[in-house]
Structure 1
Amino acid sequence: MLSILSISVCALAYAIFSIAKDPAWTRDTAVPLPPQSVVCIFRAAFHLIESIQFVDPLSFAVMGPNGSFRQNAFDAGFNPTGTEPPFFQIFDQGFLKILGNTPTITEIASNATFAFAHEGPVYDPTLDSVTFASNDGGALGMSDINHNNKVGRINLKDIPANLNGTAINIPVTELDLPPTVQMTNGGTGPFRGNILLITSGRGPLPPSIVLVNPNPPHNTTVLLDNFFGRQFNSLNDIKIHPSGKIFFTDTVYGWLNHFRPLPLMPNQVYRLDPDTRSVRVVATDFDRNNGIAFNGAGTIAYVTDTGANAGFLGNNQTQPATIYAYDVDPNSQVFNNRRVFAYTDAGIPDGVQIDSDGNVYAGCGDGVHVWNDEGTLLGKFFLGTVSANLVFAGPGRLIILAETKIFLAEIAASPSLFTS
C-alpha cells in the first residue's frame, strides 16, 4: 500500500530527477544539482516505498569468489533486496517515466487451482474489458489432448476506484465459443470490431486464426487454418501491423505439451492478408519462436525465442531466452537484419508489448521486464512468478497475466497504436 507520505516522496524523487535532466533548467540555474546527487536522492526516496525498489547495477556488478550466484534462471528471479512481491524493481532511472508519480500494482483476480490467465490478452475499449485464455496443456491448465482450454473475460468496470495495493478478486466470465476454437494461445485487436484469436489446435483439429464477436453469442469466423493445404504446427501469438496485415508465429509447443502431433514445418513467422487470405513466411531460423510485436510505426518487429523452455523435454538454460529485433521491409514486409535485442535473466520472454515511447515489455519468469528501445533493462514489474503475457488497457493501465492471478499496474505509460 502506498501511503500519502510515500506518494509525496515518489513524486518528489521523480520531480528532482526530471528537473535535473532538463537542459533548460540547468541553463537558467546558477548551481545545478550534480547528477550523482540526483541519483542519491532518487534512491533514498524510492527506498522509503516498499513497493518500489531501486537496484543499482553497481551493487551487484562484482559478487566475488564467495558470491551467492544463481544456478537456475527458472527460479523465483533476481531479488537482491528480498522484497515481498509484487513490487516495482528499478535498474535504470528511465523506468521513472514509465511508472509516473503514483504507481500501484494490485492483484485483481485469482484462482489458486486453475491457471485461468495464461495468454492472449485483448483489451476492448468499447466494453472496457480484457479477454484472455487459460493455460493450454501446461500445469493447472485443466486442458490436454482430450480437453480444450478456456477463454475468459474480466470487466474493468468491476475494479473499484482508488486501489491501494490490497488484493481483490473480480469476477471472471467464460466465453462460450464453438468447437472450431481449440486451444487459444494468442489474441489481438480489436480488429474490424472483433477480437482476433489464434489457436494452437488440438489433436487432429487444426490451428487457426479466428475472428470472434466480442458480444454474445460470440459468433466466430475462421480466417485461416492451413498453409497451402498443410496444417501449422501450433500457432502461438499474433499482432496487427499498422498496414492492416496480420502477423503470427507458429512453433512446436502443442507437441511439446502433448496435445498436437509431431511438427511437420519449421518454426516461423507468417504474414496474412485478411482480405485476400494470401499467406507467406516473413522470418525463420528460430529455436522456438513465440511472442511478436511491432513498434508504433511498424518499421521494427520484435520476436521472442523461448528455446530454453522445451515442454516435456525440460528446460535448457543454454538455449535462447531472447528477444530479436528486425527491420520490416517497407514493400514485402519480410523481416530483415535480425539482431539480438535483449536476453532475459529469468525464465523466458513470452508475450511482448510496446508502449508509446518504444519501450519493450515482455512477460518473463519473475514478472514483466521492460527495456528501452536500445535494449537496456529499465526495470521489472516483479511478481515472483511467471507472467506469460500482458496488455495495455488504455493509457496508464497495464493488465498482467500470471497464470493463477491477474494484476493491474497503474502507471504513467501508454500503449503504442498497435500493441493489443
Structure 2
Amino acid sequence: MRIPILVCALAYAAYSFANGPTWQRDVAASSLPPQSVLVDPSSFAVMGANGSFRPSAFDSGFNPTGTEPPFFQIFDQAFLKVLGKAPSLTEIASNDTFAFAHEAPIYVAALDSVFFASNDGGALGNSDIDHNNKVGRIDLKDLPAHLNGTAVNIPVAELDLPQSIQMTNGGTGPYRGNLLLITSGRGPLPPSIALVNPNPPHNATVLLDNFFGRQFNSLNDIKIHPTSGNMFFTDTVYGWLNHFRPEPLMPNQVYRLNPETGAVRVVATDFDRNNGIAFTGDGKTAYVTDTGAQGGFLGINQTQPATIYAYDVDPTTEMFANRRIFAYTDAGKSSTGIPDGIQVDTAGNVYSGCGDGVHVWNSAGDLIGKIFLGTTSANMAFAGPGRLVIMAETKIFLAEIATSPSLFSS
C-alpha cells in the first residue's frame, strides 16, 4: 500500500530532526514545501547484510519513503531554493494509449505554448520504419489559474508538418521566430536539422541533412551556443536500435553547425551512445548525456554508461575538451533508466529526464533533488521563470518552482 505524502513527510521530518544535520533539523522544525519529502542520505548509507538492495536501476525507482508520486524528493538543502516556498507539481495532459510527449519540448513565449514530439520507434509511440512520429502543442493559457497537484487534461493539438520532418527527437528555440527541430530520419529518409514555423501552415526549412555527403546515423538533440549562436547537436544510433534506420555509418559524436556558413565539424567523440546536450549560461561548459546502458534491441547493460559528462568549451575553436564525469545516475523504474534530455537553470543547476522523473544536480554534480514522477521523463523545458514543463511519454507535468532557465535552455 502506498503511504500518503503527508505521513511520509512527517515521518522523515521527525527522523531528520532527531538524527540529521543542522539544515535538516531546521527544515523539520518549520515545514517542508508542499508535495515534498525530505530524504536524509545518511539514512540509507548503510543497508546491512539483510538490506533490500535494488537489483536493477531499470526495474525500480529509489523511493525509500514509499511516497505516492508525483512529489518532490529533497536530498540537499540547495533543492529548497530550487523549489521555493510554495511549489506545485501537476499532471496537465494525458493519453494512456499514446506516448505523445516524449522529446523536443520547446516553449514559445509569444504563444504561451509548448511544442513537443511523440515517442519515435518506442513503446506506445505508434511510429516505426513505415510511420512517422507526431509533433504536438499545448497552450498553457488553457490551464486553470491556480494549480495544486490535482490532475487536469488540457487539449493537445497535432501539427501538420511537411514530409521533410521525419522522426523528430530534439528541439530548441525559438530560433529567429522558429522551432529548431532535429530529426532522426526514417528508413532511407535522412536525419536533419530544420526550422519550422510554429504557426500554420508550419512551413519548414531544412538547414542540414548530411556530413559531406553521408547521412547521419539518427540525430538526437540540439542546443544553440549562448554566445556564438552556433548549433551543437548529437548523433547516435537509436534509430537503428529501434528498427527505423539503417546500420550506422559513423561514430556517435557531437557536431557543430555554423548556421551562417553551413560549415559542420565534429567537436566531441568517444561515446557509447551520446544523447542529450546543454550549455551553462555563459557557454563555457557543455554537458552531454551518454545512455549506453540502454541498447534498444540489444537490451539493457548496466555496466555501460548512464552518465552525464562535462566539458570545457574552447573559446576559440569551440571544441569540447577536458571531459570529466559530472554525474552517474541511479536512473529509476522503466526500461529507460538513463539520463536523457538535459537542461540548465540560471543558478547552474542541471536537470535531466530519467526513469523515475527529473533528477537535479548542483553545478558541482551533487544530486540535490528529484521531481519524482514514478514514470519516465525523457526531457523537459522551462516555460519562462518558475515553470518547468516535463515530458513523461503518456503524460505532461508542470512543476511550478522558484528557478529560471539559462539562455536557450529548451
Q: TM-score, normalised by structure 2?
A: 0.93
Question: Deviation of residue 46 (structure 1)?
Answer: 4.5
Distance (Å, rounded) in 1 between the aligned partners of 2:236 and 2:348: 26
Q: 1:205 to 1:271 in 2, by over 3 A?
A: same
1:119 and 2:106 correspond? no
CA distance in 1 between partners of 2:117 and 2:160 (Å): 12
Contact 2:33 2:87 (C-alpha < 8 Å) held by counterparts: no
Partner secondary structure for residue 97 of structure 1 = helix
> Which runs of structure 2 are paired with 1:42-61 in the superposition (5 Å)?
42-43=27-28, 45-46=30-31, 49=34, 51-61=35-45
Question: Alignment partner for residue 55 of structure 2, among 40, 60, 71?
Answer: 71
Trace 1:11-50 onto structure 2 (pairs within 5 A). Answer: 36-43=21-28, 45-46=30-31, 49=34
Conservation of the 8 A alpha-carbon contact between 1:46 and 1:53: no
The answer on 1:380 being equivalent to 2:364 is: no
Q: Cα 1:76–1:47, aligned 2, differ >3 Å: closer, same or farther?
A: farther
Distance apart, 1:397 and its partner CA:
0.0
Aligned counterparts of 1:203 and 1:261: Cα–Cα separation in 2: 6
Match of 1:62 in 2: 46
Distance of 2:302 and 2:62 partners within structure 1: 16
Alignment counterpart, residue 95 of structure 1, candidates 79, 83, 98: 79
Identity among equivalent pairs (%) = 77
Measured after TM superposition, the shift of residue 44 of structure 1 is 5.2
Query: Is 1:332 aligned to residue 317 of structure 2?
Result: yes
Letter aligned with residue 200 of structure 1: S
Q: How many Å separate the matches in 2 of 1:208 and 1:48?
A: 43
Give 2:393's aligned amino acid: E
1:274 is aligned to 259
> Equivalents in 1 of 2:190, 2:31: separation in Å?
50
Equivalence for 1:369: 359
The 8 Å contact of residues 46 and 54 in structure 1, kept in 2 or not, is answered as no
| Partner SS state of residue 129, structure 2 | coil
Q: Is this contact kept in 2: 1:119–1:135, CA < 8 A? A: yes
Kindly provide the CA deviation profile for residues 351-405 of structure 1, in whole angstroms up to 9, marking residues without a partner as x: 0000000000000010000000000000000001110000000000000000000
Structure 2 CA distance, aligned partners of 1:201 and 1:248? Answer: 15
Q: 2 CA distance for matches of 1:354 and 1:37? A: 28
Q: Does 1:255 align with 2:240?
A: yes
- Report what 2:307 is aligned to: 322
Match of 1:170 in 2: 154
Q: Secondary structure at the match of 1:95?
A: helix
Aligned twin of 2:298? 313
User: Given the superposition, is the C-alpha separation of residues 46 and 386 from structure 1 closer, same or farther in structure 2, using an over 3 Å criterion?
Assistant: farther
> What residue number does 2:281 align with?
296
1:21 maps to which residue?
none
Q: How far did residue 417 of structure 1 move?
A: 1.3
| Residue aligning to 2:181 | 197
What code does the residue aligned with 2:241 have?
Answer: L
CA distance in 2, matches of 1:48, 1:104: 9
Provide the TM-score with structure 1 as the length reference: 0.91
Q: Which amino acid aligns with 1:357?
A: A
Q: Which runs of 4+ in 1 moved over 6 A?
A: none
Q: 1:28 is matched with which residue?
A: none
CA contact (8 A) 2:71 2:372 kept: yes
Q: Which residue of 2 aligns with 1:185?
A: 169
Looking at structure 2, the residues matched to 227 and 318 of structure 1 have their Cα atoms a distance apart, in angstroms, of: 31
SS in 1 for 2:249: coil
Q: How does 1:203-282 map to 2 (within 5 A)?
A: 203-242=187-226, 243-282=228-267
SS at match of 1:40: helix
Query: Computing the radius of gyration over CA atoms, which structure comes out larger, 1 or 2?
Result: 1
Q: SS in structure 1 opposite 2:250?
A: coil
Distance in 2 between residues matched to 1:96 and 1:285, nearest whole Å: 37
8 Å Cα contact 1:269-1:281 kept in structure 2: yes
Instruction: Sort the Cα spacing of 1:48 and 1:153 in 2 relative to 1 into closer, same or farther, 3 A.
Output: closer
Q: For structure 2, which runs of at least 5 residues remain unmatched after alignment?
A: 1-5, 14-19, 332-336
The code of the aligned residue for 1:337 comes to: N
Looking at structure 2, the residues matched to 286 and 195 of structure 1 have their Cα atoms a distance apart, in angstroms, of 28
In 2, Cα distance between the equivalents of 1:279 and 1:260? 22
Question: Quick one: distance in 1 between partners of 2:235 and 2:26?
Answer: 48
Distance 1:375 1:214 in 2: 35
Change (3 A) 1:63 1:224: same
Cα distance in 2 for residues equivalent to 1:222 and 1:117 = 23
Kindly provide the CA deviation profile for residues 288-345 of structure 1, in whole angstroms up to 9, marking residues without a partner as x.
0000000000000000000000001111111000000000000110000000000000
Label 1:66 to 1:201 Cα distance change in 2 as closer, same or farther (>3 A).
same
2:154 & 2:396 partners in 1: Cα distance? 10
Task: Quote how far apart the aligned CAs of 1:38 are.
Answer: 4.1
Q: Distance in 2 between matches of 1:36 and 1:339?
A: 30
On the 8 A contact 2:23/2:77 being kept in 1, the answer is no
Instruction: Return the alpha-carbon distance in structure 2 between the equivalents of residues 44 and 148 of structure 1.
Output: 54
Shift of 1:47: 5.8
Q: 1:167 to 1:76 in 2, by over 3 A?
A: farther
Equivalent-residue separation in structure 1 for 2:75 and 2:122 (angstroms): 32
Distance 1:88 1:48 in 2: 9
